[in-house]
Structure 1
Amino acid sequence: MIAGLSVSSKVAAQGKYGASPEDSVECIMNLSLYGEFYKQWKSSGYKNTSVNDAFGPWRQVFLNCPAARLGTYVDGVKMLTYYIKREKDEELKNAYIDTLMMVYDVRIENFGKEGFVLGRKGVGLYQLRVTDYEKAFEILTKSVELEGDASYPDVMVFLMRGTKKMIDEGKIEEDVIFDNYDLCSKIIEVNIEANKDNERKLSNWQNVRGNIDLIFEPFATCEAIIKIYSPKFQENPEDLKMLKKLTKLLDRKKCTDDQLYFDATVKLYDLDPSPESAYMIGKMLMKNQKYSEAIDYLKEGDKLEDNETRADCFLYIAECYRIQNSYSSARTYALKSAGERPDDGNPYIIIGDMYAASTKNCGSNDLEKKAVYWVAVDKYRQAKRVDPDIADIANDRINSYSIYFPIKDDIFFHGLNEGDEYFVECWINEKTTIRAAKN
């Protein structure tokens, strides 16, 4: 049934409808014949024996007029897969698989779309003959390289499976799975964002993300990352590509307490100063309570390209200044963080906390000191208004500090009225509304 299909040179040499007028007539006849039987097979739910009648003329079309139509390859894959799954003889099954792989190759020669077709070929090979995992891995790698964000979901999954298999068999180093996981993750996130209004496609891509996370999970521990990369760093600490990959990976997996993270980040900054490496050094110095040094590095975050990272960077600077009691500078950077990420309530929590901590240093009388709690509560309310996820934290602080508002008699004694505007001076310099403590 499949004899002769291995002669790919013959297939490639034909024109659209064969090499001669006689070939063209025969080609058109075989196209019609196999097409009719194929329709019958398809109508039966791919269950009746019409596939056997279709396969012979399909074979002639494939061999003699491979450029006739794209459907030849789509139908051929369907029929060959059908035979492969039902064939008990291993030698014949392998012959079918070899033919299937050739069908993909000839399709590329005649109809292009190499990246897409290689994806189908790689997935098919891995599913049908896992002993060829190394070849399948190469095919899938090239497919993703060519297709990029247009790669199909199952290609991502089988690339990760193939990567793990290659590592398990000692064919590649473990660091390859980190590269491929990062590559696949970026493609998946692009497609999740692009399909957020398409429930079916969105669910599919989310499932793919879950699948590759499961494959990657055994390699994703800090212990595993450090074990893999420590020798690489010791051997070649000036490998810029490796340093960038390592620092991003350790940062993403929150492995920032290890000395390797600090050493690699500092080395990266020495070799290639950038806002990203400065940001990572700043975070490490902050963890080590070296706040002034941390601020110097973190201030380079102004040049970071990503809004989310800039927001985090400014928030870290605000926290460093807060710890040093430099409240005015801390507020400046907290507000810069809020400007980068308007739906984050944390900057306002920090500002509110600094206001509440200023009661002893602001105001010349008891009412002026307690008025500071008004602006503190204003910030907590602003925090939960922009960020409902932080409402519990904000409400706890509101309840804690509202009891320290001036009482009604004190407000009246100072010639003020509830509901009126009030200006809190000191370093705060903000308008607020007069409120009395509730009994």
Structure 2
Amino acid sequence: MKKRFLALLTIALGIGSVSAQSGDCTTKAALAYDDAKAKNYDSAYPALQDVRKECPKYSLATYQYLERALEYKIDKAEQGDKKELVEELISVWEQRLELYPNKTSKGKIYSDIALLKFDNKIGDKDEQYKAFDKAYTEDKDNFKSPKGLYAYFDLMVEMQDEGERTLQDVFDNYDRVFTKIEEEENEAAENLAPLLQKQEEGEQLTAKEQKQIKYAEINLANYSKVKEAINAKLGARADCDNLIPLYSKDFEAKKADVSWLKNANARLSAKDCTDDPLFIKVSEALHKLEPSAKSAYSLGQLAEAEGNSAKALEYYNEAAELETNKSDQAKIYYRIANNYQDKGSFGQARSFYRKALQAKPSLGSAYLQIANMYAKSANNCGEDAFSKRAVYWLAAEYASKAARVDPSIASNANQAAAAYKGRAPQKSDVFQSSKNAGDPISIGCWIGETVRIPSL
């Protein structure tokens, strides 16, 4: 009986101890969180440290608030005092990932850690590069930071300049980063497309949808800047004068290596090094060993250079059917469309520009080319002077869409849109036509679309 009483007493005391500890965590966390919410980080920081130490699994919020407090302190600290704070922030992120893996993006955490080291010059270039490489290799899908992707490439180029990496290493890294950026651009453009369609049709957008448009356009602009920056960084390293010697010296030894031929073919093709005999040798060797989208596309380029447009289109269509990479497929469709446009086959050209856009929604130049063809057809696709000029409204819509999905051509696209609007019916013309804003105008001939009179 006495033993049973002692056992019960021990259990009761244990429960009381756990409850007290839980209560302490709740009280401490509440006070720390209140200061953090008020952005009183000097006061919140030590309290959050205590919660993290004594109650590490209490709440994810501990790590979220501690991140903000440490970022604040790092920003305010003198350069010599930052390293310790940076290392603490890294440990906070790592502990959050360990304790809350289902609520933490591994790719984002690793890229944030890498950026923190990069910005604060912690470790040498190789160590910083490996930190970004960890984010890319372990969780590429969530490595989305435009600045982080640029730094990942920038470090590789700097190491190559210092003799620590080869030119081929630079090319390999460029391909990874550029492909990732294009994937993010496509995702942003795909999210943006239906919202722009609603906007163009005059539907009321919710506040959430307006924010989605804003964020998608910001992301597209940032990725466009990064692409421009990494292309500038790559610079003359990727011109024909460097590429041809690089691949010529290894061709005989590698001409049966499909992987090497694919890499050489893609690089020479991308930089239009198609006049050199090496390109012909690489393309033919690759197509013989493994007929593919890349080799068919290269043979199409050769046929086009020789003036055989029919044969070029045959190879390009074969390439498009074989291609599985959406961005590369879009490039092929775009080239086919250009060929048809050059021959005056606007309907065929538009069909392939649209295929290019299905594969790569951020390809604004395809919208701009359609706008250009519409403008060229204005006099042929209207029943009267008013409807002929109305074609320019449609052209302006396509040019404006080009600017919104592809910030890299926004300036030219917006200028084109403004020029088309200047040729379209003006307010006095609409008044004299007895039509009103919002009325549909059917455009005939090969265009076959309807445009609504805008509010002028």
TM-score normalized by the length of structure 2: 0.58
Correspondence 1:350-429 to 2 at 5 A: 381=380, 388=395
| Partners of 1:163 and 1:222 in 2: CA distance | 13
Please give the residue correspondences for 1:24-423 in structure 2 after superposition, counting only pairs within 5 Å: 25-26=20-21, 28-30=23-25, 32-40=27-35, 42-43=37-38, 46=39, 51-88=41-78, 90=80, 93-112=82-101, 113-145=105-137, 146-148=139-141, 151-172=144-165, 173-196=169-192, 197=195, 198-221=213-236, 224=239, 227-228=242-243, 230-232=245-247, 234-235=249-250, 236-289=254-307, 294=312, 297-298=315-316, 300-301=318-319, 303-305=321-323, 306=329, 309-310=332-333, 312-313=335-336, 316=339, 337=349, 339-341=351-353, 381=380, 388=395
Instruction: Report the structure, 1 or 2, having the larger helix content.
Output: 2
Question: 1 or 2 for the larger relative contact order (CA 8 Å, sep ≥6)?
Answer: 2
The offset of 1:258, in angstroms, is 3.7
Tell me if structure 1 keeps the 8 A contact 2:146–2:222: no
Question: In the alignment, is the contact (CA less than 8 A) between 2:60 and 2:100 conserved in 1?
Answer: yes
Distance 1:299 1:56 in 2: 65
Q: What SS does structure 1 have at the residue aligned with 2:274?
A: coil
The 1:54/1:284 distance shift into structure 2, 3 A limit, reads same
When residues 189 and 246 of structure 1 are mapped into structure 2, their CA distance, relative to the original with a 3 A threshold, is farther
SS in 2 for 1:174: helix
| Partner amino acid, structure 1, of 2:135 | S
Report the Cα distance in structure 1 between the residues aligned to 2:146 and 2:15, rounded to whole angstroms: 42
User: Any gaps of 5 or more consecutive residues in structure 1?
Assistant: 1-18, 323-329, 351-376, 393-439
Partner Cα separation in structure 2 for residue 109 and residue 191 of structure 1: 29
What SS does the corresponding residue of 1:273 show, helix, strand or coil?
coil
Query: One-letter code of the match for 1:231?
Result: L
Deviation at 1:178, TM superposition (A): 1.9
8 Å Cα contact 2:25/2:58 also seen in 1:
no
Contact 1:301 1:314 in 2 (8 A): no
AA aligned opposite 2:321: K
Alpha-carbon contact 1:38-1:51 (below 8 Å) kept: no
Larger C-alpha radius of gyration, 1 or 2?
1
Q: Is the 8 A contact 1:30 1:61 kept in 2?
A: yes
Kindly provide the amino acid, as one letter, of the partner of residue 176 in structure 1: D
Report the Cα offset of residue 31 of structure 1.
Answer: 5.1
Letter in 1 for 2:34: K
**What is the rounded CA distance, in whole Å, between the counterparts of 1:304 and 1:29 in structure 2?**
64
**One-letter amino acid matched to 1:40:** D
What is the deviation of 1:53? 3.8
Q: Which amino acid is 2:298 matched to?
A: M
User: What's the counterpart of residue 209 of structure 2?
Assistant: none
Deviation at 1:144, TM superposition (A): 3.5
Give the counterpart letter for 1:251 in structure 2: S
Contact 2:265 2:279 in 1 (8 A): yes
Classify the secondary structure of the residue corresponding to 2:249: helix
Closer, same or farther: CA 123–23 of 1 in aligned 2, 3 Å: farther
Moved more, 219-228 or 271-280: 219-228
For the Cα contact (< 8 Å) 1:160–1:180, is it kept in 2?
no
Residue 151 of structure 1 aligns to a residue whose secondary structure is coil
1:275-327 CA-partner distances (Å, limit 9, x unpaired): 441232122133134668657645635734546624634765998xx8xxxxx
Measure how far apart 1:380 and its partner are: 8.8
Structure 2 unaligned spans of 5+ = 1-13, 196-212, 324-328, 355-365, 383-387, 399-415, 417-456
Distance in 2 (alpha carbons) for counterparts of 1:299 and 1:52: 64
Q: CA RMSD for the aligned pairs? A: 4.4
Using the TM superposition, give the Cα deviation of residue 213 of structure 1 relative to its aligned residue in structure 2, in angstroms.
1.7
Question: Please, which moves more after superposition, 204-213 or 168-177?
Answer: 168-177
Distance verdict in 2 for CA 1:380–1:284, change over 3 Å: farther
Q: How big is the shift at 1:336?
A: 5.2
- The answer (yes or no) to whether the contact 1:265–1:277 under 8 Å persists in 2 is yes
Determine the C-alpha separation between the residues in 1 that align with 2:248 and 2:55.
56
**Identity between Structure 1 and Structure 2 (%):** 17
* Distance of aligned partners of 1:213 and 1:101 in 2 relative to their CA distance in 1, 3 Å threshold: same
Aligned counterparts of 1:241 and 1:52: Cα–Cα separation in 2: 56
Q: Secondary structure at the match of 1:208?
A: helix
Query: Partners of 1:378 and 1:77 in 2: how far apart?
Result: 58
**In the TM superposition, what is the alpha-carbon distance from 1:72 to its structure 2 partner?**
1.5
Cα deviation, residue 272, structure 1? 1.4
2-structure distance, mates of 1:262, 1:65? 67
Are the structure 2 counterparts of residues 195 and 337 from structure 1 closer, same or farther at C-alpha, using a change threshold of 3 Å?
Answer: closer
Q: Residue deviations 1:85-104, cap 9 Å, x none?
A: 344473x5322222221111
* TM-score computed with the length of structure 1 as normaliser: 0.60
